[in-house]
């Protein structure tokens, strides 16, 4: 993780089959792990994805994996993994039409597949505004507007 801060390591790691590692970990460990070691491993994998999304090869591998994308949307809905999953999702949503096409046409997502994303986003919007957590509020507004930019059909939900 420390190394993946560096662009050289991001390029190298993206060239490895990190997507396979992520897929196996996501499939093996239950979605809501109880053991701290398992929680930590999920979190670190999500952080790794958040770093490797910055590299074109990494981005391509993540976008090509339906399993990873599905789990990113799932982990977005959990409090302890919400921000880590969002880093990757935000970068992907920023791709706009390309990402939308991959989700809907390549992987067979439907507009209702984003229900939990919308619900969680709206809930977090309310929480951050009421609690006056303005840093989180700004980040959330940014991520939600990027999501709407990618999937404009869901703009009515907001």
Partner 1 sequence: MDAMQAEESKADQLVSDEGSRVLLKGTTLNFIGNLCVEPQLRRYISEDMGGLLTQVFDMLHTDVTTKPFDWVDSSGRAL
Burial group, residue 117, by CB count within 10 angstroms (0-12, 13-18, 19+): buried
Asked if 57 touches partner 1 (CB under 8 A), the answer is no
d(CA 71, CA 78): 11
Binding residues for partner 1 restricted to 71-130, rule: CB under 8 A: none
d(CA 74, CA 36): 19
* Three-point CA angle 9, 15, 17, nearest 5°: 110
Number of neighbours of residue 51 by Cβ within 10 angstroms: 22
Cβ of residue 9: shortest distance to partner 1, in angstroms? Answer: 4
Asked if 38 touches partner 1 (CB under 8 A), the answer is yes
Q: Please say which residue, 25 or 104, places its beta carbon nearer to partner 1.
A: 25
d(CA 68, CA 106): 14
Contact map string, positions 6 to 35, toward partner 1, x by CB under 8 A: x-xx--xx--xxx-xx--xx--xx-----x
Residue of 3, 31, 111, 123 interacting with partner 1 (CB under 8 A): 3
Cβ of residue 47: shortest distance to partner 1, in angstroms? Answer: 8
Tokens of 105: 């046409």
- Residues of this chain that interact with partner 1 (CB under 8 A) are 1-3, 5-6, 8-9, 12-13, 16-18, 20-21, 24-25, 28-29, 35, 37-38, 40-41, 44-45, 47-48
């Amino acid at each position: 993780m420390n190394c993946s801060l560096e662009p050289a390591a991001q390029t190298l790691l993206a060239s490895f089959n990190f997507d396979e590692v992520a897929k196996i970990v996501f499939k093996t460990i239950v979605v809501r792990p109880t053991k701290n070691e398992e929680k930590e491993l999920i979190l670190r994998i999500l952080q790794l994805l958040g770093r490797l999304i910055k590299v074109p090869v990494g981005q391509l591998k993540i976008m090509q994996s339906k399993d990873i994308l599905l789990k990113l949307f799932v982990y977005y809905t959990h409090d302890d993994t919400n921000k880590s999953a969002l880093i990757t999702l935000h970068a992907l949503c920023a791709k706009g039409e390309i990402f939308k096409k991959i989700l809907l046409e390549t992987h067979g997502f439907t507009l209702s597949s984003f229900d939990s994303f919308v619900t969680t986003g709206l809930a977090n919007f309310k929480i951050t505004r009421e609690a006056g957590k303005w840093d989180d509020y700004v980040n959330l507004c940014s991520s939600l507007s990027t999501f709407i930019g990618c999937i404009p059909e869901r703009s009515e939900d907001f």
